[in-house]
A and B are shown apart, each in its own frame.
Chain A
Amino acid sequence: MSLLIYAESADGKFKKVAFELASYAKNVADSLGTTVTAVTVNAGNVSELANYGVSKVLKVSNDKLNNFNAKAYADVVKQAAQKEASKVIVLSSTTDSLYLAPLVAVGLDAGFASNVVGLPLSTSPFQVKRTAFSNKAFNITEISTDIKVVSIGKNSFGLVENSTSLSEEDFAPSLNDVDFNVKVESVEKTTGKVTIADADIVVSGGRGLKGPENWGMLEELATVLGAATACSKPVSDLGWRPHSEHVGQTGKPVATNLYIAVGISGAIQHIAGINSSKVKVVINTDAEAPFFKVADYGIVGDAFDILPKLTQKLKEFKANNS
């Protein structure tokens, strides 16, 4: 009856969202009077999960699962849920977890709610609050099936330490050969750079930066903050920056602690994609730019003048506060 989470890892190390999921699930499990079980796939040391309230880990180790395969991973999660007789399965909102979640739900005849923000409003009936209409509204969804699958929005809960004693168990679910007919041929990934999905801070540039040659100053600001760089849609359409950096309604969603928009006017489609970020800063020459309506802090001024100075100020700040 325990709650099940799929604790995602990359290269054997847990992603930060795995700990956020564990923190969330522990809270829900407490209110239901049960415990949290995590299923892991080719993760190395799983003991870290004990810091965030996980009582049991089902460790799956299988070379066939080195590349993510949605159907096979969904099968793993499903069989783990069946083994534990879990009624609630909590997943994250990474690209991979959103890919497998509906497959898990169908496999378990479970209702599914995505983009969940915050703890369930009630567990009987099971009601959760989720974002909808591209972050322009919230929607309270009731899941009526016996088994429930929820995926929680990034940064919507945070990390809560909760030391638990952990038992580990090797788990070897049966895998379906046909699932591997979807085969990963190659992976292109930027290495050594903070990705938008993992970042706590995102620094984003728009057409106001005038050309790809001016991205150096944005990257310097990002480096000082340990931030990922992103861009507006026109910038990726013009080919100044790769599509993988495009954030907004048709690009990547951003739900980060701090989002700094430089030379981005703030078209409604852009705002839709970044509005779940907690604190938004805008730097723009045009005081009438729509971004100022949604930002928390703003500077009306020229990015070419402000960015190097801001980077310098932040360097000094970091030097004094580290």
Chain B
Amino acid sequence: MKILVCISHVPDTTSKINFVNGDSEFDTNGVQYVINPNDEFGLTRAIWFQEQQGANVTVVNVGGADTEPTLRKALAIGANEAIRVNAAATDGFFVAKQLAEVVKSGNYDLVICGKESLDYNGGMVPGMLAGLLNFNFVNSCTELTVDGTSAKVSREIDGGKETISASLPLVIGGQKGLVEEKDLRIPNMRGIMTARTKVLTVLEPVAAENNTKAVKFEKPAPKSAVKLFSADDLEGLVNALHNEAKVI
């Protein structure tokens, strides 16, 4: 089985979110980048398939050279090889087009994406990719097993879960649950050393439109301070929720 894991290079959750150039660009100054958490669950699951079922795992990212440390980290975790499509990831459709080309030329059976990235939260790349490739597609995926060419997948739904069967080739929009958080891999020294010699191929992008454009960013208005009630004044809280906030 050939697996492609699509990785986004995103600011660490604890990063300060600021903008520059008239609020038109994200301020990368002092920001630590990580593998997008939803993708990391998928990557770890892919490594499980590699170890248990002999799968070959390629990781791919659409981004500039500055995103390569994130791909090297994925190689250190255990991916066999990496691909970087040399273009800024400015629009979901553009990214999906690039990934579709990579999938077609590499004949992958299973494509694992995170259901959304934690920077733009667009949540569109996995679905668009599946649509462009005409592959089967399961989003918000929390469990995944593969036997031959058939997959069993669990999907989170509002208020519960669905168990789904689907044949390969398949695109997954993954999330927490694909593996448990405690099973996420941290690269060890041997992994880091071998990652240096693994193949990282840089591909030039194919022509594709940008269907959307981020014009500007805004930060939320500063919040007023919390209004405290003493533990003896629950009446006060109930009144505030009713009369002031009008939520009960």
A residues touching B (Cβ–Cβ < 8 Å)? 67-68, 70-71, 74, 94-96, 98-103, 105-107, 110-115, 127, 129, 131-145, 181-190, 193, 195-198, 200-201, 225, 237, 243-244, 246, 249-252, 257-258, 268-269, 272, 278-279, 281-282, 292-302, 305-306, 309-310, 313-314, 317, 321
| B157 partner residues in chain A, CB cutoff 8 A | 68, 95-96, 187, 189
Interface of A is mostly: mixed
**Are A111 and B228 in contact, with the CB atoms below 8 A?**
no
| A144 partner residues in chain B, CB cutoff 8 A | 210-213
| A299 partner residues in chain B, CB cutoff 8 A | 228-231, 234, 237
Apart from A98-B139, A145-B209, what 7 extra A-B contacts exist at CB < 8 Å? A95-B157, A102-B123, A107-B131, A132-B217, A295-B226, A310-B237, A314-B248
Alpha-carbon distance A131/B119, docked complex (angstroms): 10
Alpha-carbon distance A121/B176, docked complex (angstroms): 35
Alpha-carbon distance A276/B5, docked complex (angstroms): 30
| B214 partner residues in chain A, CB cutoff 8 A | 139-141
**Are A317 and B248 in contact, with the CB atoms below 8 A?**
yes
Alpha-carbon distance A114/B121, docked complex (angstroms): 8
**A133-B17 contact, Cβ under 8 Å, with A114-B121, A189-B160:** yes
**Are B139 and A187 in contact, with the CB atoms below 8 A?**
no
Interface of B is mostly: mixed
Alpha-carbon distance A279/B136, docked complex (angstroms): 40
Alpha-carbon distance A193/B96, docked complex (angstroms): 38
Q: Which of B38, B162, B217, B248 is packed against the most chain A CB atoms within 10 Å?
A: B248
Q: Does B103 contact A (CB under 8 A)?
A: no
**Are A106 and B237 in contact, with the CB atoms below 8 A?**
no
| Interchain CB contact (< 8 A) of B211 among A95, A110, A201 | A110
Nearest CB on B from A239, distance (A): 11
**Are A138 and B162 in contact, with the CB atoms below 8 A?**
no
Residue of A nearest to B132 (CB): A106
**Are A297 and B237 in contact, with the CB atoms below 8 A?**
yes
User: Count of A-B contacts with CB under 8 A?
Assistant: 262
**Are B212 and A102 in contact, with the CB atoms below 8 A?**
no
Alpha-carbon distance A71/B163, docked complex (angstroms): 17
- Please name 7 pairs of A and B residues whose Cβ atoms are closer than 8 Å in the assembled complex, sorted by A: A95-B140, A102-B131, A127-B215, A133-B121, A136-B17, A145-B211, A184-B164
| Interchain CB contact (< 8 A) of B127 among A106, A185, A249 | A106
**Are A111 and B241 in contact, with the CB atoms below 8 A?**
no
**Are A250 and B38 in contact, with the CB atoms below 8 A?**
yes
Alpha-carbon distance A132/B214, docked complex (angstroms): 11
**A133-B177 contact, Cβ under 8 Å, with A105-B128, A190-B160, A250-B37:** no
**Are B231 and A300 in contact, with the CB atoms below 8 A?**
yes
Alpha-carbon distance A237/B78, docked complex (angstroms): 25
**Are B136 and A317 in contact, with the CB atoms below 8 A?**
no
Alpha-carbon distance A142/B211, docked complex (angstroms): 8
7 pairs of A and B residues whose beta carbons are closest in the complex: A102-B127, A111-B211, A106-B131, A195-B159, A301-B231, A189-B160, A197-B158
Alpha-carbon distance A111/B128, docked complex (angstroms): 11
Alpha-carbon distance A70/B37, docked complex (angstroms): 24
**Are B231 and A186 in contact, with the CB atoms below 8 A?**
no
| B209 partner residues in chain A, CB cutoff 8 A | 145
Alpha-carbon distance A321/B177, docked complex (angstroms): 43
| A193 partner residues in chain B, CB cutoff 8 A | 159
Q: Does B14 contact A (CB under 8 A)?
A: yes
| A107 partner residues in chain B, CB cutoff 8 A | 131
Q: Does B181 contact A (CB under 8 A)?
A: yes
**Are A269 and B13 in contact, with the CB atoms below 8 A?**
yes
| A94 partner residues in chain B, CB cutoff 8 A | 158
Q: Does B216 contact A (CB under 8 A)?
A: yes
Q: Does B49 contact A (CB under 8 A)?
A: no
